[in-house]
Amino acid sequence: MFLKVLGCGEAFSAGGRLHTSFLVEQDGFRLLLDCGPSVLVGLRRHGIDPMSLDAVVISHLHGDHFGGLPFLDRFYHAFGRSRPLVVWGPPLLRERFELAMGAFFPGSVERRYELELHSYARSFSVGGLEALALPVDHDELTNPHGLRIGPLAFSGDTRWTSTLLELAEGASVFLCECGLAVPGKPKHCSLEELRRHRSLLRCKRLFLTHLGQDVLDLLPLPDFEVLEDGMEIQI
């Protein structure tokens, strides 16, 4: 499995990082893990043809994680995608996608390709990869989930929760959000909590992502690997 970081920024693009979108490739199957509004920037910046994507998996329904879907959809419509696009996301994916479409591209109801929107339950399969979606502790209205796709684990956005231990168990790579330096009001995981629980996370490699400005200000970290836009990881 191959991972390319298109964007690993948080909602406010601290550090000039693009919104969260990871390109995951296995056996020629290409999926996007989260689809931030800057996804087309990320793909084109690295010379990746947006048409080459087979599927998208969304962790939760905050704009910085799914807001790129309307742009991808209009791109595929405008440039004549010839095959279906499969999108997996939490319950309410279709409803929120249609709201976003109506707001961003009013009246654009024609679609010259097939868009398959699916809501996941606990386990599902995408491109032959076994996937797991576990509810995490973030803004409830966004239906937040952490995801496991084959050997890759991703926290999504969440406060520290023991569910992260389950997600990370046996993973080759775990991408864990770290939105804050110390625990605070926003529903994000803090560096302080990750340090405290690091030894319990049983994954081979752990990378921090979705860094808030206060965490970016502490880089480089002596004890954690941190994602960068454009980074490539062999899994």
Strands of the 55-57 sheet, one edge to the other = 115-119, 85-89, 55-57, 29-33, 21-26, 2-7, 232-234
Q: Indicate the SS3 state at residue 29.
A: strand
Using alpha carbons only, give the angle 110, 100, 186 rounded to the nearest 5 degrees: 160
Binding-site size for Zn ion (CB under 5 A) equals: 3
Phi-psi region of 150 (alpha: psi -120 to 50; beta: other; left: phi over 0): left
Q: Which residues pair with 207 in a beta bridge?
A: 175, 225
190: helix, strand or coil:
strand
Give yes or no for residue 137 binding Zn ion (CB under 5 A).
no
Q: Report the C-alpha gap between 77 and 22 in whole angstroms.
A: 22
User: 3-state DSSP call for residue 188?
Assistant: coil
User: d(Cα 167, Cα 123) in Å, to the nearest integer?
Assistant: 12
Nearer to Zn ion, 90 or 150 (CB): 90
Q: Tell me how far, at minimum, the Cβ of 123 lies from Zn ion, in Å.
A: 23
Choose between 36 and 127: whose C-beta lies nearer to Zn ion. Answer: 36
Sequence length of the chain is 235
Residue pair 96/182 in contact by the 8 Å Cβ criterion: no
Q: Which stretch binds Zn ion (CB under 5 A): 55-63, 84-92, 165-173, 211-219?
A: 55-63
CB of 64 to Zn ion, least distance (A): 4
Closest contact distance (angstroms) between CB of 15 and Zn ion is 14
Binding residue for Zn ion, selected from 35, 53, 55, 64, defined by CB under 5 A: 64
- The residue from 157, 159, 193, 206 that contacts Zn ion (CB under 5 A) is 157
Among 62, 145, 148, 159, binds Zn ion (CB under 5 A): 62
Shortest Å distance, C-beta 142 to Zn ion: 6
To Zn ion, the closest distance from the beta carbon of 52 in angstroms equals 25
* Candidate ranges 27-35, 60-68, 121-129, 222-230; the one touching Zn ion (CB under 5 A): 60-68
Listed ranges 46-54, 81-89, 115-123, 156-164: which one lies at the site for Zn ion (CB under 5 A): 156-164
Max CA distance (Å), the chain: 52
Q: Which is nearer to Zn ion, 89 or 127 (CB)?
A: 89
Where does this chain bind Zn ion (CB under 5 A)?
Answer: 62, 64, 157
